A and B are shown apart, each in its own frame.
Chain A
């Protein structure tokens, strides 16, 4: 018995040693970890391939005729010297203006109402449900709404106004949800402190809530702006022009174009991709337009994400 006990102990000790020191041989664990890592690797691979593909296609066009490309217009031949994204940039610029002018104030105000004013009642819960569901409605359905509201009822005139308002409506729930999140993060001690010295509700919102929540709100608005700039489906539905659009004589800031036919950066890309079946030169042109669009969108997203991370860190 004694012997076997000793032997047993000896075996146990050896096994414990082995178990403790064999971490490097945990094959199952390692395999699992590499499997997970390969998921991230694939995601990165997709992104890198995509960027390389777009750059190799688009770069020649951009480097050859940089300025011309920015001022040019939609053309029927890809070899046309006047081919460019000028009209797309103008449309996207105005769409951004619509989003900033409509979604931002309405969305932030709605978030303030929901977080600071609303009591728990029927209307509040209806608003809440409406916003949550709107955020999940496919963008193409917003296009149908825009088509019904602004185009179909007005003798089939697709205007920049219709596109801008449609996209403003599309990103509204995103603005509301992100702004509400930022407002919820305001510590209640700030509210109490302000109310405690006799601030009115509006004072508290103006002097405490909005300044404190500003970085979070800004993040949300930047993300939604980036989304609006890259969105194509609703614009297709409200009738943005994909093929040829007569150039306007007036400048970028001319208000007249709001009620005229329009195109936008993503629509230019879609149009040229379609044309590429007929005229292969449109492919690289689309690539070049994508490079421009991506620079804008990724820049905006990065600023937004950096802003969010910085403030999350700062406030622990």
Chain B
């Protein structure tokens, strides 16, 4: 983890400058690169110098950030800035793209997620994902929620898991009488809450949400945002959103990503510009690019 500083423009430098890290040990001098001191025991992700490549093309470069337990972290930025790409590397969904490659360290609770001995399947059972478009399986509501536990080998107590997951996803009351109906018949908002229930059912520690409300109407969106606040005490949530208001409403901390254009080959690479408390980022950002973006000057 002895990494930051010498790799050039890194958010950590800017943000650590105005806070005092309390009694950092010699082995980890920059263990808490946040504006508030982090109890290292609450550190869920510790990302340093993360870059994601598609073939030769570098989609995102040099991401440094930490994510804390039971917090909602929002990733915002203009389209093409690689925020979804970064999110998908947190549970190795990028493995599904044959040409994708990740460099740098992505430490989840002390384990490098990209260690060759790590099984992505195991990772995804602990770090669940909710996708941009609601994607219920063409099965019954019950089977959708029970899918994760079933493939993990669970045979007994599925009823309880299904009920508690649907309750947590605030969907139980609406569907408890028709669990056997096809999930395709649900409304878009219900489908997305079903996706959340499906992700919760595997009892993950982290939930990754990739623009979960972009396909939903405002009422359904509000419902999901409420839900996130409710389940926050049990999960660590990372959410990608293109909606700045949403980030401001739901998240504790926000990471702003931007794009830089490579003049030589006309390709755009994403980078993390600023990562700090949500309140600070939206009221008093350190970086000019962040300010330009949140005030609507670009993006």
Contacts and interface: CB of A to CB of B under 8 A. Distances in A.
Asked if A and B form a direct contact in the complex, defined as CB atoms under 8 angstroms apart, the reply is yes
Interface of A: 119-120, 187, 189-200, 203, 207-208, 211-212
B93 A195 contact: yes
Interface residues of B, number: 28
Interface in B136-193: 136-138, 147-148, 151-152
B148 A189 contact: no
A189 B124 contact: no
Contacts of B199: 196-197
Contacts, number: 70
A190 B131 contact: no
Given A193-B198, A212-B138, A198 B93 contact: no
Contact of B147 (A187, A194, A200, A211): A194
A295 B129 CA distance: 51
B46 to A, nearest CB: 22
Contacts of B123: 198
B91 interface: yes
Q: Identify the interface centre among B93, B128, B151, B152: most chain A CB within 10 Å of its CB.
A: B151
Nearest to B91: A196
Interface string B126-137: 101111010111
Contacts of B152: 198
Nearest to A204: B151
Q: Identify the interface centre among A196, A199, A207: most chain B CB within 10 Å of its CB.
A: A196
Given A198-B122, A198-B148, A189 B201 contact: no
> Lowest 8 A-B CB distances belong to which pairs?
A198-B125, A197-B148, A196-B129, A189-B135, A198-B124, A193-B135, A203-B151, A199-B151
Interface of B: 91, 93, 96, 98, 121-126, 128-131, 133, 135-138, 147-148, 151-152, 195, 198-199, 201-202
16 contacts: A189-B131, A190-B135, A193-B198, A195-B93, A196-B129, A197-B124, A197-B129, A197-B147, A197-B148, A198-B121, A198-B151, A199-B148, A203-B151, A207-B151, A211-B138, A212-B138
B135 A192 contact: yes
Does more than half of chain A's interface fall in helix, strand or loop, or is it mixed? Answer: helix
Given A196-B124, A208-B137, A212-B138, A119 B202 contact: no
A211 B143 CA distance: 14
Nearest to A191: B96
B186 to A, nearest CB: 14
B151 A196 contact: no
Given A197-B199, A200-B121, A192 B93 contact: yes
Given A194-B151, A197-B148, A197-B199, 18 more contacts: A189-B133, A190-B135, A190-B137, A191-B96, A192-B129, A192-B135, A193-B195, A193-B198, A195-B124, A196-B93, A196-B128, A198-B122, A198-B202, A199-B124, A200-B121, A203-B151, A207-B151, A211-B138
Contact of A197 (B133, B138, B198): B198
A109 to B, nearest CB: 21
Nearest to A198: B125
Contacts of B129: 192, 196-197
